[in-house]
Amino acid sequence: MDLQSIRREYLTGSLTREQLNADPVAQFGLWLDQAIKMEMVDPTAMVLATTDADGQPNQRVVLLKGFDAQGFVFFTNYESRKSLDIAANAKVSLHFPWYPVERQVLVCGVAEKVSADESRAYFQSRPRESQLGAWASPQSRVLASREAMMEQFESVKARFADQDIPLPTFWGGFRVRPVRVEFWQGGANRLHDRFQYSNCVDGHWQIDRLAP
């Protein structure tokens, strides 16, 4: 494979300081809305990067389930690898790779658990099978086989037959409170447009253009 010859130009658009909203969350909302309207595949998919207690970085794809001025929300098993990493180091990053529109968004911030009420409201909105899956999966732990996992799923399904499925005590959401947000728009000749929002001590956001 000749990987070095695989390249393309980024010619979809450009980004100027004048185009940016003063609030990075509002700017993110604009870009996300555009991605959704373009019917991109998984526009809410984001790479969550964490670091474990030994300093080893870990990454995985999770789905954004809400965002506002307070931060960006996703849900998971609180006993999973990502949750254990966050317990050791709450500083995380989120990366939205919107390749079809030659855009990226990077969010760096601090993760904290959402309230049980917020987790319960989202859990109850999920399809019943997904609720059962949350109960059945010991996320990130070693499994004997897929058959063992499916047996556990069927056991949980029988346990909660004909009744509402409660929120597991080991499952819920995290909110990533941003301290730095970067918007990247691909440009010709690798001269990309990059703008970084930095959260200042007085609460306002400083915006700087970064070299590509």
Question: Which amino acids are annotated catalytic?
Answer: 190
Q: Which of 120, 26, 118, 21 is nearest to 68 (CA)?
A: 26
The reply to whether 82 sits in an annotated binding site is: yes
The reply to whether 64 sits in an annotated binding site is: yes
The reply to whether 91 sits in an annotated binding site is: no
Q: In whole angstroms, give the CA distance from residue 151 to residue 158.
A: 11
CA atoms in the 13 A half-sphere facing the CB of 186:
15
The reply to whether 209 sits in an annotated binding site is: no
- Run of H or E residues at 99: none
The reply to whether 75 sits in an annotated binding site is: yes
The reply to whether 44 sits in an annotated binding site is: no
Q: In whole angstroms, give the CA distance from residue 94 to residue 185.
A: 17
The reply to whether 41 sits in an annotated binding site is: no
Who contacts 117 (Cβ-Cβ below 8 Å, separation ≥6)?
none
The reply to whether 37 sits in an annotated binding site is: no
The reply to whether 191 sits in an annotated binding site is: yes
Who contacts 177 (Cβ-Cβ below 8 Å, separation ≥6)?
70, 71, 109, 110, 111, 112
Q: In whole angstroms, give the CA distance from residue 182 to residue 198.
A: 9
* CA-based torsion, 42, 46, 52, 57: positive or negative: positive
The reply to whether 15 sits in an annotated binding site is: no
Q: Token pair 């658990």 is at which residue?
A: 113
Q: Which residues are annotated as a binding site?
A: 7-10, 60-65, 75-76, 81-82, 104, 122, 126, 130, 139-140, 184, 190-192, 194
Q: Which residues are annotated as a binding site for substrate?
A: 7-10, 65, 122, 126, 130, 190-192
Q: Which residues are annotated as a binding site for FMN?
A: 60-65, 75-76, 81-82, 104, 139-140, 184, 194
